[in-house]
Chains A and B, each alone.
Chain A
Amino acid sequence: MNPKDLFLLSFEALVDRKVRTLLTILMVVLGCSLVVVLNGLSAGQSAFLEKQFNTLAANVLFVGSGQRSLSSFASSSSNSLIINDVILQKIKSLPNISDVIPEYTGSVQMNSQGNTQRASIVAIDPSKLTVELPNLDYVAGSTVNANDRASALVGDTIVNPPGSDSAFVVLGQTIKATSSYTDSSGKQTTVIKNFVVSGILKPSGNTMIDRSIIINLDAGNELLHKQNKYDQVIVAATTPDDVDTVQQEITAMFGKTLGATTPKAIMAVRQQAASGNAAFILMVGIIALVVGAVGIVTTLYNSVTERIREIGTMKAIGAQNTTILALFIVEASLIGIIGASLGVIIGIGGGYVMSIATTSSPMGGGGPSVHIPPIFALMDLIKVWFLSFTLSVIAGMYPAWKASKLSPMVALRRE
């Protein structure tokens, strides 16, 4: 029997059992698309994180109160040290350090010409920004002076909020920042400050900076009511090779009351978590595909039972065992091809939908949310397609073998 006739006979058999065929294809589609979605989101997340850390200078460390949590920049220990100017001086006194840059961080409500949005505030000596982010550049304007309490640099995502056609703010315009805090007596106090936009930053790739407003350290202290308690200190080692030494020195000096973390260490932990995630994702996806394969076994096995007289007739009119085997394998292959192809397409679409649905602020704090697009590498898609297809064919083998081995006389007798 030629391949075309074989294909047509198998195709007709599948069409004859439309609902069951569609449900089986659906199982393969679900398994395949799940693997594609999870792979795409995982790859997108990894690429996003890598991009974030690649924007940071190689010689910096982040120092914060208590043991640093690697999953966020917040301190997590009750046994933490408040970072103030005394602590800064102690850190500065350590060898192999070229600069120590304190910063306040927080979240405020921004108003500009009647429009409002939440934004992150980074209060730092603006002239030292390039120590942390060497590639920082401006769309318009320039950095503000260290003592200028009324000027601000604005990140790209604040200027051009996602989904908005017009700019939130332009160079030279005044923006109003509103922050509130609860004092020790439990009273809610609101602080309002106006800033003139003196610089608009180019997209840096660093989400924290792109969705922040950068202001002078003193202005930040007042606006966020920090009472001279810094949230974080960026320590610049003399050279990238000194980073580990500086980290050890800080740890030796402050113990667990201060935490010092390098971008490299954060990245390593992130990568480790990502590879753990990838293994988990692969396992979930394969389980989904195996469930799909079991569906194919069930469908084709039922099909063999239902078509037993047909198989007997085919054998009586001269079909070889291999022809019967091939008919069922082609049916399984068709289910695999259609299921895997739809699964890849739906998986790509689903990946984008999921990434939009899970748009969030990955670094914590306020400000515009971040959309991390999934990444679908062609080779990954081809691998998933072949995995789905191969599992479908393997699943079809047992029912096909069973059908091919039926005695024609026994098959013809079956009602």
Chain B
Amino acid sequence: MSSKRGLILKNMTKDLVVEKSAQNEIVDNSSFALQVENLSKIYDSTAGRVVALDKISFSIKKGEFVSIVGPSGSGKSTVLNMVGALDRPTSGKIYIDGIDIFSLNDSEIATMRNRRIGFIFQSFNLINRTTVHKNVKLPGIIAGMSSSDANYRALKILESLGIADKKNQKPVNLSGGQQQRVAIARSLINNPSIILADEPTGNLDTKTGEDVFDMLKMLSHKFKRTIIMVTHNPELAESTDRSILLKDGRIEKDVFN
């Protein structure tokens, strides 16, 4: 990334942080962005009882870049879905910025997802009928941001990520790497407390995957964004600050790289 682009993103991030503090009802003074306590998820089906997560606990500091790794069925995505408040646990608690997210009602959880959580999906999940610019500003629009503010922020983020020239294109016309950059830009628009990335490089070739990973790493190290990334790639996992290895719904290892 060029130093000019980095400077723009740094300045913008500062602005967003100031505004976020003013917006949030609860200002968390602790150093943890995320706290997971005795989290369990059990699925009951005709095939039997499946324990996807078995009383796992961990905390993630603000600005940490954490990878969650493990074999298929180990519970990686389940953890991410719980942390992202997309699914409710069978038991246990999750705190984001000190807020017990599952004590909230559906509407408050939606607001939580909008303001404090940024999602990056493996298959990008962009809205293909509309432009890149609109995709990026959509969480801002949902948050009630003014049109001019959302336009400005979206454009600045796109510039920072080097895809401002694609702003009027439909995502479907972009390469996989470019689409994932749009998804990263979208996850940043509301300056969330944590960014959840579910296999963000899974649909990309090695080179593009590395570029996207570098971008996440830059966001974490230079701009102190808290990022939790689920990945199958051990090399990428080793390049994060910390790796949590899950196996059979339990934390087998929690190592700082």
- Are A320 and B107 in contact (CB-based, < 8 A)? yes
Q: How far is the CB of A2 from chain B (nearest CB, A)?
A: 7
Minimum CB distance partner of A319 in chain B:
B142
Query: Does chain A have a CB within 8 A of B72?
Result: no
**Which residue among B86, B112, B126, B190 has the maximum number of chain A CB atoms within 10 Å of its CB?**
B86
Query: Does chain A have a CB within 8 A of B99?
Result: no
Give how many A-B residue pairs fall within 8 Å (CB-CB).
Answer: 72
Query: Does chain A have a CB within 8 A of B186?
Result: yes
- With known contacts A5-B141, A5-B147, A319–B110 Cβ distance under 8 A: yes
Residues of chain B with a CB closer than 8 A to A319's CB: 110, 114, 142
Chain A interface, >50% SS class: helix
Query: Does chain A have a CB within 8 A of B59?
Result: no
User: What is the total number of residues of chain B having a CB less than 8 Å from a CB of chain A?
Assistant: 28
Q: Roughly how many angstroms separate A178 CA and B46 CA in the complex, as a whole number?
A: 93
Q: Roughly how many angstroms separate A206 CA and B90 CA in the complex, as a whole number?
A: 84
Residues of chain A with a CB closer than 8 A to B173's CB: none
Residues of chain B with a CB closer than 8 A to A322's CB: 107
- With known contacts A318-B115, A409-B81, A323–B125 Cβ distance under 8 A: no
Minimum CB distance partner of B124 in chain A:
A313
Query: Does chain B have a CB within 8 A of A52?
Result: no
Q: Roughly how many angstroms separate A16 CA and B130 CA in the complex, as a whole number?
A: 9
Q: How far is the CB of B185 from chain A (nearest CB, A)?
A: 12
Q: Roughly how many angstroms separate A321 CA and B86 CA in the complex, as a whole number?
A: 13
Q: How far is the CB of A76 from chain B (nearest CB, A)?
A: 66
Query: Does chain A have a CB within 8 A of B111?
Result: yes
Query: Does chain A have a CB within 8 A of B127?
Result: yes
Q: Roughly how many angstroms separate A313 CA and B125 CA in the complex, as a whole number?
A: 6
- With known contacts A5-B141, A316-B113, A409-B87, A321–B129 Cβ distance under 8 A: no
- With known contacts A12-B130, A309-B125, A409-B81, A317–B139 Cβ distance under 8 A: yes
Binary per-residue interface labels of chain A (156-172) against chain B in the complex, 1 for a CB within 8 Å, 0 otherwise: 00000000000000000
Query: Does chain B have a CB within 8 A of A408?
Result: yes
Q: Roughly how many angstroms separate A313 CA and B179 CA in the complex, as a whole number?
A: 15
Minimum CB distance partner of A408 in chain B:
B86
- 15 residue pairs from A and B, CB less than 8 Å apart: A2-B141, A2-B144, A12-B130, A309-B125, A313-B121, A313-B125, A314-B138, A317-B142, A318-B115, A318-B139, A318-B142, A319-B142, A320-B111, A409-B81, A409-B87
Q: Which 3 A-B pairs have the closest CB atoms?
A: A318-B114, A16-B129, A409-B86
| 7 further interface pairs, Cβ-Cβ under 8 Å (given A313-B125, A318-B139) | A9-B130, A314-B138, A316-B84, A317-B113, A317-B142, A318-B110, A407-B86
Measured CB to CB, the residues of B under 8 A from A are 81, 84, 86-87, 106-107, 110-115, 119, 121, 125-127, 129-130, 138-139, 141-144, 147, 186, 190
